[in-house]
Structure 1
Amino acid sequence: MTEPVLARRGFLGAAAGLAAALALAACGSGSGTGVTTTGDAGGSASQSAAAGTAWTYTDDRGKKIEQPKAPSRVVAQVGSAAALWDFGVRPIAVFGPHKLKDGSKDPQVGNVDITKVEGLGNVWDEFNVEKYISLQPDLLVSNMYLKDTLWYVPEKSKATIEQVAPTLGIMLTGKSATDVIGRYEELARSLGADMRGVPEAKARFEAATKELASFKDLKVLMMSGGPDTMWVVNPPEYPDITHLTKSGLTVVTPSKVDEGGFFQSLSWENADTYEADVILYDTRTQSLTPEEMKKKPTFAKLPAVRAGQLYPWRAEAPFSYQGYAAYLEELVANLKKASKLP
C-alpha cells in the first residue's frame, strides 16, 4: 500500500568520499550472496562469448537489463526482499522498514533474517548511498506503485544509485497478487533460487483462495488510520485486494478517491460513511492500532467494531506463496468468525 502520509523528509545523502566510492565500485564486485544461476529470465537470456550464459531481464518499466552473468549481489527494498527470500534468493542488503524501535524485525520484511543483511535505510527518504556503493551490488530490486518510480528509492539520490548498479522494478498497482507473485517467481528462478518449499506453499495459497468465495455475502471495508484521518482503500489499486475481489470477496469501493487513486480520505467524524459487516485494518507500524482507533467516537460506534468484527489487514504481505498462504489463511479464519450484520 502506498504510504498514507508521505512527509518528504530531507535526504541525508552521501557527502565526502562519494566519488572515490563510485570509483571503487567500478572496479568490480566481490563474492556472491549464495544465489547462482546459469539460466535465463523468462527465456530472455542470450549467449555471451566472454562469460558463457548471459543474463537478461525486462522489468515492468519495459527496461531490459543485461549482465554478462546472473547478478549475485542483490540489494532490495524490504517488500521485494521478503518476496525473493521466500523463493530462495538471499539479498545482501535491504532498504525500507525492516527494524522496529525496539530492534526487533518489522513485519514488512517477512522471513528475511535481518541479522544477515545490511540495512541501508529504515524510513521514507532514508538511503545510505555510501554504504550501498561500498557493497558493490550487481542489482537493485524494488516494487513500484507508480510507473517508473522505485519504492523507497529517494528522488534526490536516484541518479547516483542508478550509476552504481542496474535497477529493476516490479509493478504492483493495477495487478493481481497472483501476477506479482508470478513475476517474483520468474525473477527468482532466473537468479538460480532453489524454490525450496514453494510447491507446498502454493497448494496452501490455492486452498485458502478457494475458501474466499464462501464469504461473498459479507461486506468488507479495508482501511488505514492516522491521527486525524481514516483512509478507505480503493480495491483495484492493490494486488492483494484485487486478488480477494476476483476470488469472490465483496470489498467496499469508495465513491470518491483522492488524487492518485489509492484511497479516500475521511475525517474520523465521517468514519461511518460506508456500511460494512467486517473492517480490516492496516497493521503496518505507521497506522493507528485498533485501540487507538476505538478512541475515535464515530469509529467506535460502527456496527462492525461493536460486533468485534475488526480484523487485521496484512497490507504488505510478501509477494510469495508463503507470504500469501499465511495472509489468506489468517483472513479465512477471521471471516469464519464473522456474520452479516443487520
Structure 2
Amino acid sequence: MALTVSRRGLLAGVLGLGALAACGDGTDPAASGAGGGGGGGGGPFAFTDDRGTAVNLGATPKRVVAYVGTAAALHDFGVSAFAGTFGPLKAADGGKDPLAGGLDPAKVESLGNAWGEFNIEKYAALRPELLITNMYEGNQLWYVPEDSKDKILGLAPSIGLTVSRTSLATVIQRYADLAKALGGDPTAGKAQFDTAAAAVRAAVKASGGLKVLAASASPDLLYVCDPKVYGELSYYRELGVEVIAPTAVSGGYFENLSWENADKYKADVILLDNRSQALQPKDLAAKPTWASLPAVKAAQIVPWQSEPRFSYTGCAGALDTLAKALSGAKKVTT
C-alpha cells in the first residue's frame, strides 16, 4: 500500500484505499478517453477511466454502486442510477453527511459508512452493473477494502477517476464526461461555478497579496496541506490565490507540524478542515501557538471541506466562500 498512516488519518479519518484489477474489455470509442454513448436513451455505454481501463456495456447501467462523494457529484450532473453507495453517507449525529450532497439516504442502499466497511453480500444482492469511485494514489480505488477487493471487483466492471495531483477543473471535467456517458447533463452548474471562480479572481486582485494556508488540525499535529496535491488548492492557485506550499512534505500530501512549531508559516487567511474528525477553532483556543497565528488573531479562519464533491454545483459554494473571505480579509503578515 502506497499510503502512510497519516494520509489515511487525514483523508479517511481526520481529512483506505483498495487496489484494482482492470475490468471491462474492448477499445475506447473516443480518442480522448472521455466516454461516449449512454445518453438518456439507454443506448450502449462506453467510457475509459483514468487507469486506461475501457468499460463497454450494451446499455447505460441502471444499477450503479459508487463511493458517496462520487455518487453525489454525478447526482449533481443529473445521474440517478444509484442502487447503493459506500463511504460516509450518514454523519455521526445520524443526519446526512455533507459529502452526500443531494443524495437521499432513504433511496440508496449503504454498503458501509466508514473506512473498511464494504458489505459484499449486500453488494452482490444489488446485482451491480458498474462500480465507480475516486483514486488518490495511482490506480487504488478509494474506499474499496484491500482484503476483499478481488471479490468486489469480480462482480461488476469498475471505473476510477483521479482526483489528486491534478487541477480541480480537470477532475470536474472528467466527472462531466462520465455523467454524459451515464445520461446526465455535463454542463449542470457550470455557469454558477464560472461566476464564483470569477469572483475569486476579482477578490485576489483587490486583496493586496493575501497569503493563504490550508490545514487540518488534530490534538498533536497541525497538517499543512500541499496545494500541488489537492485539486481544489491547485485550482485556487490558478485563480491567483497565493496558497502557501509547505517545504517539508511527509507522505506526499502535507507537512506535519507539532503544535510547538505550528507558527512555521505566517498566513493572512487559514482554510481549516471543517469535518467532524478535525479540531475546530473552538477546540484550538487553548493552544498558545494557534492563538498567536496572525490569521487567528485577525479572525480570518475559513471553513474548508478538504474532500470536495467534484461537480460544478458541489464546488461553486466553496469558491463563493473563498471569494467572500478574501474580499473581507486584511493583510496581517509581512
Specify the SS of the correspondent of 1:222: strand
Q: Residues 172 and 7 from structure 1, CA distance in 2 versus in 1: closer, same or farther, beyond 3 angstroms?
A: closer
Equivalents in 1 of 2:283, 2:167: separation in Å?
Answer: 31
Equivalents in 2 of 1:279, 1:331: separation in Å?
Answer: 11
C-alpha deviation, 1:6, in angstroms: 7.5
1:72 aligns with 2:77: no
Equivalents in 1 of 2:306, 2:221: separation in Å?
Answer: 18
Determine the structure 2 residue equivalent to 1:221: 213
Q: Percent identity of the aligned residues?
A: 44
C-alpha deviation, 1:4, in angstroms: 3.1
1:124 aligns with 2:81: no
- Bigger shift: 110-119 or 226-235? 110-119
Runs of 4 or more consecutive aligned structure 1 residues displaced over 4 Å after TM superposition: 5-8, 43-46, 194-197
* TM-score where L is the length of structure 1: 0.83
Determine the structure 2 residue equivalent to 1:191: 182
Determine the structure 2 residue equivalent to 1:240: 232
Determine the structure 1 residue equivalent to 2:223: 231
1:140 aligns with 2:145: no
Q: Residues 5 and 163 from structure 1, CA distance in 2 versus in 1: closer, same or farther, beyond 3 angstroms?
A: same
Specify the SS of the correspondent of 1:187: helix
Equivalents in 1 of 2:178, 2:300: separation in Å?
Answer: 38
Equivalences for 1:79-98 in 2 at 5 Å? 79-90=69-80, 91-98=82-89
C-alpha deviation, 1:166, in angstroms: 0.8
8 Å Cα contact 1:216-1:250 kept in structure 2: no
How big is each residue's C-alpha offset from its partner over 1:260-286, in whole Å with a ceiling of 9 and x where there is no partner? x10011111111011111111001221
Equivalences for 1:57-68 in 2 at 5 Å? 57-68=47-58
1:56 aligns with 2:46: yes
Q: Residues 276 and 199 from structure 1, CA distance in 2 versus in 1: closer, same or farther, beyond 3 angstroms?
A: closer
8 Å Cα contact 1:278-1:338 kept in structure 2: yes
* TM-score where L is the length of structure 2: 0.85
C-alpha deviation, 1:207, in angstroms: 3.1
1:170 aligns with 2:151: no
Specify the SS of the correspondent of 1:339: coil
How big is each residue's C-alpha offset from its partner over 1:203-227, in whole Å with a ceiling of 9 and x where there is no partner? 4344334335324600011000112
Determine the structure 2 residue equivalent to 1:22: none
Q: What's the C-alpha RMSD, in Å, of the aligned pairs?
A: 2.5
Specify the SS of the correspondent of 1:285: coil
Q: Residues 179 and 100 from structure 1, CA distance in 2 versus in 1: closer, same or farther, beyond 3 angstroms?
A: same
Name which one, 1 or 2, has greater alpha-carbon Rg.
1
Matched letter for residue 272 of structure 2: Y
C-alpha deviation, 1:169, in angstroms: 0.4
C-alpha deviation, 1:81, in angstroms: 1.2
**Aligned length in residues:** 307
Unaligned runs of 5+ in 2: 1-5, 17-28
Which among 59, 82, 102 is matched to residue 111 of structure 1? 102
Q: Residues 87 and 174 from structure 1, CA distance in 2 versus in 1: closer, same or farther, beyond 3 angstroms?
A: same
Unaligned runs of 5+ in 1: 12-38, 47-51
How big is each residue's C-alpha offset from its partner over 1:55-75, in whole Å with a ceiling of 9 and x where there is no partner? 221100111112112212111
Equivalents in 1 of 2:35, 2:190: separation in Å?
Answer: 22
Equivalents in 1 of 2:204, 2:297: separation in Å?
Answer: 25
1:267 aligns with 2:265: no
C-alpha deviation, 1:294, in angstroms: 2.1
